[in-house]
Amino acid sequence: MGIFNKIKEKAFSEFIDIIEWTDDTSDTMIWRFPRYNAEIKNGAQLTVRETQVAVLVNEGQFADIYQPGRYELTTNNMPILTTIKGWKYGFNSPFKVDVYFVNTKQFLNLRWGTANPIMMRDPEFGPIRMRAFGSYCFKIEPDPTKFIRNVAGTDGNFTTEGITEQLRNFIITKFTDYLGESKIAALDLAANLNEFSQGLFTSLKNDFSELGIEITKFLVENISLPEEVEKALDRRTSMGVIGNMTAYTQMQFADSLKDAANNPAGGGNLAGDAMGAGIGLAMAGQMAGQMMNPQAGQFQGGQQPPMQGTPLPMPPQITYHVAIGGVQQGPFQLPQIQQMIQQGQITPDTLVWTAGMPAWAAANTIPALTQLFGAVPPPL
């Protein structure tokens, strides 16, 4: 290649004659054509693809805006820039100008959520904390100059990350205000998510428009209660499912006795559990026996005969103190005494005592305990 051709190639490389942007990202909102120190030639080709708008900016001043299509940059289709530059018709000199490509597509599934719980007063639970999250969609308004001026500025590669934090602040402020003014009970919020979404969508339009952005979709996906409140609700629901507590306690007591019978090795603990359930059943029966007199409207003497269909309370369980190795232990209930006999800790001569006895006595002299020794096989 001759020296003349090299000089000619270098001179042409300093000028830009094809201007376009192929977007290979999903979050770029504005991209500035990398002109650097090169100049745009008169008659350069500008290609604006679908979901794009091209904006010419001359020394910080907005000039011509191009919708999707293919353009040859001349004085015929650059009227504003021609006026700014003071060009005459048919100019041939190259020029320098910033070309911004604006992405006009919808940006989908942007997430929002409450960083901290929102305090509110619920008509049923009182003061509680609540969290919420959801999603929204937006796009740049048809006139992109507002967005460039108010948000992007001179950033040559502006993405959604640069604006989502501010948008999230708008959303949380509006959501908190809307939630407090709605006066909807916490248990009814799930049935009003669509109404919340539509109301906030309308309320956020002006805030987004101030930045040159058009909100296209807004969703409140979940409003949740604190974990402690959810656990309390679960307990309340369980109680509602159980219904009759007396019948439930009887069922638990019967199941405990059945487990003890099927598992002799662990019978001591299970028997103790069953006895505890029996005490609970007795207490439930006593509570049922203290129902109000429907005629007098008050308790009579603190006790009232059981209502028809209510089971009688179980008698109190007798407990025994045991002298083992010269040390007083207990008190123990009968199922525990039986297990200690089976394990050899209590023999017929072991001294025992219970309320009402004048003094300690051998276990085999007490009728209630004698039958327990009969159920234990003699040593081999």
Per CATH, the architecture of 107-229 is what? 2-Layer Sandwich (3.30)
Mean pLDDT computed over 176-204: 88
C-alpha neighbours within 13 Å on the C-beta side of residue 217 = 12
Confidence of residue 7 (pLDDT cuts 50, 70, 90): very low
Confidence of residue 376 (pLDDT cuts 50, 70, 90): low
More confident residue, 254 or 155: 155
Residues 6+ apart with CB under 8 A from 211: 146, 147, 150, 151, 163, 166
Residue 291: alpha-carbon gap to chain centroid: 44
pLDDT number for residue 37: 72
**Taking 50 as the threshold, does the pLDDT of residue 56 lie above it?**
yes
Mean pLDDT highest for which of 116-125, 131-140, 174-183, 343-352? 131-140
Phi first, then psi, for residue 339 (nearest 5°) are -65, -40
Q: Which of 11-20, 49-58, 70-79, 328-337 has the lowest mean pLDDT?
A: 11-20
Tokens of 145: 């100059």
More confident residue, 283 or 103: 103
- Alpha carbon distance 83, 90 (integer Å): 13
Q: Where are the alpha helices (DSSP H) in 183-244?
A: 193-209, 227-242
Mean pLDDT computed over 48-71: 94
Cα 275-280-282 angle, rounded to 5 deg: 95
Confidence of residue 294 (pLDDT cuts 50, 70, 90): very low
pLDDT number for residue 265: 55
| 15-19 and 39-48 beta bridge pairing | parallel
Domain residue ranges of the chain, discontinuous segments joined by +: 11-103, 107-229, 245-287, 320-374
Average pLDDT, the chain: 80
3-class DSSP state of 58:
strand
Task: Establish whether the linkage from the previous residue to 358 is cis, with ω within 30° of 0.
Answer: no
- Alpha carbon distance 62, 223 (integer Å): 44
